[in-house]
Amino acid sequence: MPATPTTDGPATDGPATGFVVTGVEPAAAELAGSAAGAAERLLTRPPVGLGDVVPAPASVRPQPAANFALPADAAVRVSADPAARDVAEHLAELLRPATGLPLPVADLPTIPGTLMLTLSATAPRPSAAVREWAAEEYRLDVDVDGVRITAGTATGLFHGVQTLRQLLPAAVESRTTVAGRWVVPGGTIVDRPHFPYRGAMLDVARHFFTVDDVCRVIDHLARYKLNHLHLHLTDDQGWRIAVDSWPRLATVGGRTEVGGGPGGWYTAADYRRIVGYAARRHVTVVPEVDLPGHTNAALVAYPELAPGKVAPPPYTGTEVGFSYVDPTDERTYDFVADVLGEVAALTPGPWLHIGGDEAYKVKGAAYTGFVERVQQIVAGLGRTVVGWHQIAPADQVDGRVLQWWGTDGDDPTVAEAVRRGARLILSPGNHAYLDMKYAPDTPLGHDWAGLIDVHRAYHWDPATHLTGVPAEAVLGVEAPLWTESVTSLAEIEFLLLPRLPALAEVAWSAPSTRSWAGFRERLAGHGPRWQAAGITFHPSPEIPWPRPSDNVRIAGSPPPARQPRPRSVTSGQGQTKIT
């Protein structure tokens, strides 16, 4: 058993820097003793401060004299509950590769452990101000004996684990063993989300992405305490989910994508793998079947759904608004019921997203009538309707959620739908659209909603964003990534990071804990984490990333992998790729 670390260091919470020199001349023995003490303190001084967490926690109380160093016999102990046990296993899986420690997982309370995860009905106590999302609250205590995470639910424990991960040195993200001391800063964090719905959307229709790619995106969400992954599964350029009752949707409609690539689709087993991977990370999948527009791929597969009953040619361009399923034909509603029924059966979460955007050719009563019938189909499946905000004029149905993607916060039609009971997910195009360029020279992405640098992604308030919409109607925030210009996982990550953590903080952290100055400092430490994990990101000049000479490594760790500067190259299809 290694020695318990000495933690009587100076009362600062900053990273280890050096020794303090005084004017007194101490005796040699004293000098030797104090040098040994200082060396010990230096070794146990964490490279991360307790407050360096993204998104910013609700409350942080550092105890610099209570830092904890993971001993070689560290163990994870957890309440005897299958979901909590799974979180403990997840923690051990996160820490084992870099630490090289065995980190056995066992039940509380038989043996006290160094990393303890406790499910507790009474602690932490939800404050009166928190409502349904109190379920995600957690408390993390670090002292010289260990780390305790306490929560009312396994989801709360999971968020606590993500915080603990960020409090360890960046090298913990390495997938191979790194020699060094794994020190966690002492103190207490009590944390809970500001908004219950925190999400990102991945468009797998414009370009198809593999199950492994989607799982990796889920990892990024979980890291920043986002709890919903919206999958845009269907569009003009491709249909990406197998539907048994209408098989040609996938086998014909799935064979195309923007630029003429091979496309692809998820089998039921593939989709279940995504849903299961997400569930284990406390992320709910929100499937979208975009209707009545954005349906060219479906019409290619089943011409009887098309207005003239004639199959259109497959589409691999990037225009929008030209296609639609025939709202006057009853077979269209059979199709919708069959598809949504099968998708719902594969999806454990409460939401079904029905799209509704840019159906320019289905106007007025034809459009609202169609949306109202589809909303009833969703309600009949026992699910909650989510739709792009264009569905606002349709009748309210219980619990309906509109996803607002406008760029001007004055939207009377949406405000009126809110008065009739709709709730909102905010994805303002000019703050949350991750397919917008960072800057004019960003090698991929669009700019129709403006340029979105990290500051722009960060600097807005969901509670006051829309005129006439009270904060109570805002369910949360979602960052959509449309993929007309995106063809690889590296490109996805380049657009996601570092804006996804910015939007995660907008959604998770109370306005009183948020500040751009604090955020950019805290975020800077994540660059080395992404490097250690082999994750691509945009090295935005707005963030004070540590210089290679800064002490961001722990003793004995290999030098951080160099972040490749994205270069733009032009592929055969005229697309820009990050390499």
Question: What is the helix (H) or strand (E) element at residue 371, kind and residue range?
Answer: helix 364-380
At its nearest, how many Å lie between ligand TNX and the CB of residue 318?
8
Closest to ligand TNX by CB, 52 or 411: 411
> Which residues on neighbouring strands pair with residue 568, listed in sequence order?
578
At its nearest, how many Å lie between ligand TNX and the CB of residue 388?
4
Taking a C-beta distance cutoff of 8 angstroms, is the pair 577, 487 a contact?
yes
How far apart are the C-alpha atoms of 71 and 421, rounded to whole Å?
54
**What are φ and ψ of residue 163, in 5° steps?**
-65, -45
Percent of the chain as helix, strand, coil, to the nearest 5: 35, 15, 50
Cis peptide before 71 (omega within 30 of 0): no
Considering only residues 109 through 148, tell me which ones interact with ligand TNX, judged by CB under 6 A: none
Please give the structure tokens belonging to residue 45: 């001084």
Considering only residues 239 through 298, tell me which ones interact with ligand TNX, judged by CB under 6 A: none
Closest to ligand TNX by CB, 173 or 203: 203
How far apart are the C-alpha atoms of 78 and 74, rounded to whole Å?
13
Please give the structure tokens belonging to residue 118: 């406790």
Closest to ligand TNX by CB, 437 or 577: 437
Taking a C-beta distance cutoff of 8 angstroms, is the pair 78, 52 a contact?
no
Query: How do strand 76-78 and strand 146-151 relate by DSSP bridges?
Result: unpaired
106 binds ligand TNX (CB under 6 A): no
Distances (CA, A) of 372 to 232, 333, 423: 21, 11, 17
Q: How many residues bind ligand TNX (CB under 6 A)?
A: 10
Q: How far apart are the first and last CA of the chain?
A: 47
At its nearest, how many Å lie between ligand TNX and the CB of residue 489?
19
435 binds ligand TNX (CB under 6 A): yes
357 binds ligand TNX (CB under 6 A): yes
482 binds ligand TNX (CB under 6 A): yes
Could you confirm whether 358 is annotated as catalytic? Answer: yes
86 binds ligand TNX (CB under 6 A): no
At its nearest, how many Å lie between ligand TNX and the CB of residue 316?
14
Q: Could you say which of 40, 89, 358, 542 is catalytic?
A: 358
Q: Please report how many Cα atoms fall inside a 13 Å half-sphere around the Cα of residue 262, on the Cβ side.
A: 4
At its nearest, how many Å lie between ligand TNX and the CB of residue 358?
5
Closest to ligand TNX by CB, 134 or 202: 202
Closest to ligand TNX by CB, 191 or 357: 357
Considering only residues 295 through 334, tell me which ones interact with ligand TNX, judged by CB under 6 A: 320
Closest to ligand TNX by CB, 326 or 484: 484
At its nearest, how many Å lie between ligand TNX and the CB of residue 482?
4
Q: 181, 248, 280, 446: which one contacts ligand TNX (CB under 6 A)?
A: 446
Closest to ligand TNX by CB, 158 or 208: 208
**What are φ and ψ of residue 171, in 5° steps?**
-65, -10
How far apart are the C-alpha atoms of 290 and 302, rounded to whole Å?
16
Q: Please report how many Cα atoms fall inside a 13 Å half-sphere around the Cα of residue 285, on the Cβ side.
A: 27
Q: Is 328 exposed, middle or buried (0-12, 13-18, 19+ CB in 10 A)?
A: exposed
At its nearest, how many Å lie between ligand TNX and the CB of residue 376?
22
Closest to ligand TNX by CB, 302 or 433: 433
Q: How many CB atoms neighbour CB 421 within 10 A?
A: 12
CB-based contacts of 552, cutoff 8 Å, min separation 6: 47, 170, 525, 528, 546, 560
Q: Which of 451, 438, 434, 457 is nearest to 507 (CA)?
A: 457
Considering only residues 452 through 481, tell me which ones interact with ligand TNX, judged by CB under 6 A: none
How far apart are the C-alpha atoms of 205 and 258, rounded to whole Å?
9
At its nearest, how many Å lie between ligand TNX and the CB of residue 337?
23
388 binds ligand TNX (CB under 6 A): yes
Contact set with ligand TNX (CB under 6 A): 320, 357-358, 388, 405, 433, 435, 446, 482, 484
Query: Which residue numbers are catalytic?
Result: 358
